[in-house]
Amino acid sequence: MKILTLKKVLTVTLLLALLLIFVTLLSVMVGSVRVDPIHSISILLQPLLGLTETGTEMERTIILSLRFPRALLAGLVGAGLSVSGVIFQALLRNPLADPYILGVSSGSAVGAIIAILIGLSAFSFGLPLASFAGALMTISFVFYFGKQEGRIHPNILLLAGVITGSFLSAIIMFFLSISQKEELHTIIFWLMGDFSFANPRSIGIVFPYIVVGFLILYWRSRHLNLILSGEENALQLGVNVERLKIVSYLSASLITAASVSICGLIGFVGLIIPHSVRLLFGPDHRLLLPASALVGASFLIASDTLARTILAPVELPVGVITAAFGGPFFIYLLRKRKVVKTL
C-alpha cells in the first residue's frame, strides 16, 4: 500500500467536492419544466446570501421545493450506499459484495409492503418507519446466524445474507401476486428507486444515519486498512478484529437500511463506485471512504437527473439508470482491469 499523505487526501476530497457541487447545480437547472439557468442559481442562493427574490413563484417552488431537495436526498443516498459498499467489500473480502448482500434491502421492502397492507402508509412516516424496522429485523436475523462460536465468519454471514434476501424476495413476489390493492402494485416503482417525494423531512430522516455512520467508519479507517492484510496480522498489531467487524457491519447496514426505507432499492451504486474509486486512488480507507462518498453522491444525482428528464414528462425509476450504466461498466472493469485484484 502506497504512503498516503494528508495533502493528497485534502486535494482529492476538495476536487471531488467541487465536482459534486457542479453536478448538484446542473441537476437544479435541468428538468421537464424549463427554468432559466441564471434564475435557477439565483433562486438557490437567495436563502444563503439574502438576495432579493428573483423568478416567479412557480420557479421558486420548482427549484427550492422540488429539484434541490431531490438532489440533496439523492446525494445523501448515493454517498451512503457507496460507503456501505466499501465496507462490505473490505470485510467480506468479496469483490461482488454490495449494500444489499446481507438482505437489508429485501427486509426493508417487506416492511414497506406490510405497512401498506395494514394501512400504515396513510401516515406520513408510516412507510419509512415500517421499512426501516424490516431492515433492522433482517440485520439482527442475519447477524444471529452469521456468528459461530461467538465470532463473525464472513463466509457464513455472506451465505446467511444471500439466503435471507432470497427468501424475503419470494415473500415480496407472493404479496405482489395475490394483492388486489392498487397501492401495493405501485410499490414496484418504489422497489427500483424513487426520489419523487423528496422533502426536508425525508432528508432529515436519512441524514443523521449516513453522517454518523460515515464518521464511525472513518474513525476506524486505519484499522480497516490493517484488516485487509489479514485478520491475524491485524490482531498482532492490536486491532480488536471482532469488535471492528461488528461495528463496521452494523454501521454500514444501518446506513443502507435508512437509505432503502426512504427511496427504495437502487442497485449497482455500492458495487461499482467503490471499485472505480479504489482503482483511481488506491485501497487506503482514509481516502477511499470520503472519495467513494463524494463520487457516489455525484453519480446518483446525475442518474436521477437523467431518470426524470430523458423521457420527460414521464419519469423513470432511478434504478433503471444505475443498472443501465452500472452493469456494462462493471463487466468492463471485471474483464479489462481485473478488479478482483484491487481488493
The per-residue pLDDT string of the chain (343 residues; one tens digit each, 9 = 90 and over) reads 567 888 899 999 999 999 999 999 999 998 878 887 787 888 888 776 666 666 678 888 888 888 999 999 999 999 999 999 999 888 877 776 777 777 877 887 788 778 877 777 666 666 677 877 887 888 888 888 877 766 777 778 778 888 888 898 898 888 877 776 666 656 677 677 888 878 888 898 889 889 999 999 999 998 888 887 777 777 777 788 888 888 888 888 888 888 887 888 888 898 889 988 988 898 899 999 999 999 999 999 999 999 999 887 888 889 889 988 877 876 776 666 554 444 5
Print the SS3 string covering the chain.
CCCCCHHHHHHHHHHHHHHHHHHHHHHHHCCCCCCCHHHHHHHHHHHHHCCCCCCCHHHHHHHHHHHHHHHHHHHHHHHHHHHHHHHHHHHHCCCCCCCCCCCHHHHHHHHHHHHHHCCHHHCCCHHHHHHHHHHHHHHHHHHHHHEECCEECHHHHHHHHHHHHHHHHHHHHHHHHHCCCHHHHCHHHHHCCCCCCCCHHHHHHHHHHHHHHHHHHHHCHHHHHHHHCCHHHHHHCCCCHHHHHHHHHHHHHHHHHHHHHHHCCCCCHHHHHHHHHHHHHCCCHHHHHHHHHHHHHHHHHHHHHHHHHCCCCCCCCHHHHHHHHHHHHHHHHHHHHCHHHHC
What is the rounded distance in angstroms from the CA atom of residue 48 to the CA atom of residue 27? Answer: 19
Q: Which three cell numbers mark 91? A: 470485510
Is residue 142 within 8 A of residue 84, CB to CB? The reply is no
Please state, as a whole number, how many other Cβ atoms lie within 10 Å of the Cβ of residue 342.
Answer: 15
Phi, then psi, of 72 in degrees rounded to 5: -60, -45
Q: Which three cell numbers mark 269? A: 451504486
Q: Residue 31's pLDDT is what? A: 82
| For the chain, domain boundaries | 6-342
What is the rounded distance in angstroms from the CA atom of residue 341 to the CA atom of residue 343? Answer: 5
β-strand partners of 151: 148
Q: Residue 20's pLDDT is what? A: 96
Is the domain defined by 6-342 classed in CATH 1.10.3470.10?
yes
Q: Residue 339's pLDDT is what? A: 47
Is residue 224 within 8 A of residue 90, CB to CB? The reply is yes
